[in-house]
Structure 1
Amino acid sequence: MIGSDQKYAAELLMQGELVAIPTETVYGLAANALNEDAVINIFEAKQRPKFDPLIVHTHDVSEFEKFAIIESDLVYQLAERFCPGPITFILPKRDIIPDIVTSGHETVGLRIPNHQLTLDLLKRLSFPLAAPSANPFGFTSPTTALHVQNQLGEKIPYILDGGKCEVGIESTIVKVVDDEVEVLRLGGISVEEIESVIGKRVKRVKTSSSNPAAPGMLSSHYNPGVKVEVGDIEKLLSEHRNQKVGILAFDNNRYESFENVTEAKVLSPTGSLSEAAQNLFSYLRDFQNSDIDILIAEPAPAKGLG
C-alpha cells in the first residue's frame, strides 16, 4: 500500500515490519536497525546476500555517537557541510548495532537523509533505521514510490510516498582514517566538494569488491536487466549493427535516426550533471521494459557528479 501517513509508518516499524521510505537519493527499504529479526526481513525481501552491509539512517549528527565512535573532527566538518544529504560515514560501530546490520564488520555506515518526510519519521522513532535501496538485490534502485510497488509491493506492508527523489543516485560513502578521507563509493556528493571542505585531497579506493566493507561496492550492482556498454556511441553502434539497441546519451539525442536504435533517452538536454544524476536510475528502469538486446551509454563528463 502506498500512502503518506507517517504515524502509520512509525507504528509498523515499531512492530518490526518493513516500510519503504523516501530519501533524496533513492527509496529505502527500512526496518528498526536495532532489531535483528526486522533487519533479517530486509535481506529476505531484497534477496540480498548477508555479507553486504546496510546503511543506518538517523535524523541528526548528535545521534551518531549513540551508534558509532567518532575519532576525527573531519567527520563533524563534513557533516556540518553536507548533512542532511547524500553522504554516508563509515565509522567504528558500538555494540548496540547488531552484527547482521554490518555483515560482521566492526564499522557501521551512518547517514542523515535529506527528505523532510523521512526526517520527521525518524524523529518519531526511538531507534535508527537500516535502509538499503528498496529494490531486489542487484537491480536498479527506485526513485519513486511506484518503482517500489512494482518490484517489492507484495513484500512490504507500506510504502511512504515522498514523491520523486531529488538526487536520484546513491550517497557518497566516506571513511576517515588517521585524518585522511577515503571515498569508498562515489555518489551524490562529489570528490571535489569533499576536498573543498577538508582542504586536502581525498584518498580514492577501489569501489567494487566481492567482500564489501560498505554498501554498493559489489562488482555487479544496479543491474538494469540488459547488457550495458559504455563508450563512444557511434563506434559501439557499428559494433552492434545486427542488434536492437537502446541509447542512453548524456546531453544530446542525435542517435534516434540510426537504423538499429530502438529507443534513445537523454539524461540532461541542458548538460546538467545534477539533472543527469536525478534521471539515471529512472531511465535505466525504463529500459528494463524495452525490446532491446543491448544498452549503449555515453559517459558523463569526468568531473563533479560525473
Structure 2
Amino acid sequence: MSYKQTKVWNVDNLNDGYTSDPDIKEAALWIKQGEAVAFPTETVYGLGADATSDSAVEKIFKAKGRPGDNPLIVHIGSKKQLTDFVAFIPRMAEVLIKEFWPGPLTLIFPKRANVSEKVTAGLGTVAVRMPDHVVARALLKEAELPVAAPSANQSGRPSPTKAQHVYHDLHGRIAGIVDGGPSGFGLESTVVDCTGDIAWILRPGGVTKEQLESVLGEGSVRIESKKQKSHHAPKAPGMKYRHYAPDSPLVLVEDTKSLQQNLQEAKETGRKTVVMAVNEHQAMLEQDTDAFICLGSMNKLEQIAAHLYDNLRQADQWDADIIFCETFPKEGIGEAIMNRLEKASFQS
C-alpha cells in the first residue's frame, strides 16, 4: 500500500472556538471513507482510522509495520460514545473518567462485538481514551465514530511529537497528516485495566500512579511488572515488543561516574558516541563524547518527558555506534520516562 502524496493539513492555529474548520472536515471525511490519517493529541501524534472497519484498521498495521497481536487504543470525542462499543463501565472506571477525562488516561473495558477484532487483537476487552487536545477533539467530533489510533510512526521507532516526525516515518504510506503543532506531554497515555478489584497500570504515562491513588485510595493501584506480563497476551500497547528505539543501540547508565567510564572505553575502541543527559551534567560529560544532547533539567522531569522522543530522534541523526543515556528515579513522571527508555534500550 502506497500513496503518491501524503496530504498535510496545517491547523496549528485552531482554537476551542472553531466552527467546522474546512481542513478538519476534510480530514474527518477521509477517516469516514476508510483512510488512515495522522493527527496530534496532547501525548503524541496518533494514526487514526475507523475502529469499526477491519479494512480501515488494517491500513494502520500495514503503514506502521505493526504486529497484528499488538492491540490499539480507541479514541473518542465524547463520553456518550462509550456505550456504543463498551459492554459495561465498571464503577472504578466511572471514577477515573470523571477525574481524568479528557486527558492522557486510557482505560480497559469489556467490549461489544462492533469493535474490529483487529483493534483488540482478538481480546474480549478494548482500550479507550478521550484526548485533551483541541485538534484531536475537533477531528473526533467531525468524524462521529470511534477512531483507533496508535502512535503515528514506524513500529518500534520513537513516537512522533511533531508532524515532521510523522512525515519522515510515514510519507507515502498514509493518506494524510493533520499538523497541529508539537504535542504537549510528549509521552503516551497511562493505560489502566480497571475491570477487576485492583487498578493495574499496564503502561505508565501522563497520569501517574500517585494521581490515580489520590482518587481511588492508597494501595488500590499497582504497576504490572515484566514478570507478570509474560503470563498472558498483551491487553495494551507497549507491553510485549521493543518500542521507541533509535536505530543506534541505546545503553542506559545509572550514574555519571559509570557513564564517564563507558565513554572512555568507547573512545579507546574507536566507537562514535552520543550522550543524552541533563544539563547539570553537561560540563563533565560533553568533552568525552562526539555529541551531547541535553535532556533538560533534572528538576523538571515534565520537560524531559515532553522532549524525550524528539531527543532520541536527534541522537539518531549522528549515526553513532552507541547512544548513552542517564537514568531517572521511578517516581511520578519518572516512571513513564524510564518505561520508555527501558523499552528503547539495547538491554531490553
TM-score of the superposed pair, with normalisation by structure 2: 0.84
**Match of 1:212?**
234
Query: Aligned equivalents of 1:84 and 1:140: distance in 2?
Result: 24
Single out whichever of 125-134 and 226-235 deviates more from structure 2. Answer: 226-235
Per-residue CA deviation, residues 89-119 of structure 1 (Å, 9 max, x unaligned), is: 1111111111111010111100011111110
Asked if 1:132 is matched to 2:150, the reply is yes
- 1:172 is displaced (CA, Å) by 0.6
SS in 2 for 1:195: helix
* Aligned-CA RMSD value: 1.7
**Match of 2:124?**
106
**Match of 1:96?**
114
**Match of 2:345?**
none
Single out whichever of 18-27 and 173-182 deviates more from structure 2. Answer: 173-182
Single out whichever of 27-36 and 286-295 deviates more from structure 2. Answer: 286-295
Single out whichever of 246-255 and 42-51 deviates more from structure 2. Answer: 246-255
Larger helix proportion, structure 1 or 2? 2
Query: Aligned equivalents of 2:29 and 2:241: distance in 1?
Result: 37
Identity %: 38
Query: Aligned equivalents of 1:187 and 1:81: distance in 2?
Result: 16
Runs of at least 4 residues of structure 1 off by over 6 A?
Answer: none
Single out whichever of 130-139 and 117-126 deviates more from structure 2. Answer: 117-126
1:52-201 aligned at under 5 Å gives the runs 52-201=70-219
- 1:255 is displaced (CA, Å) by 4.2
Query: Aligned equivalents of 2:286 and 2:312: distance in 1?
Result: 21
> Please, which runs of 5 or more residues in structure 2 have no aligned partner?
1-6, 12-22, 335-348
Whether the aligned pair in 1 keeps the contact of 2:108 and 2:195 (CA below 8 Å) is no
> Please, which runs of 5 or more residues in structure 1 have no aligned partner?
none
**Match of 1:254?**
283
Single out whichever of 120-129 and 63-72 deviates more from structure 2. Answer: 63-72
Asked if 1:244 is matched to 2:250, the reply is no
Whether the aligned pair in 2 keeps the contact of 1:250 and 1:271 (CA below 8 Å) is no
Equivalent residue letter for 2:332:
G
Residue of 5, 8, 23 corresponding to 1:2: 8
Whether the aligned pair in 1 keeps the contact of 2:109 and 2:195 (CA below 8 Å) is no
1:276-291 aligned at under 5 Å gives the runs 276-291=304-319
Equivalent residue letter for 1:115:
H
Residue of 248, 265, 269 corresponding to 1:226: 248
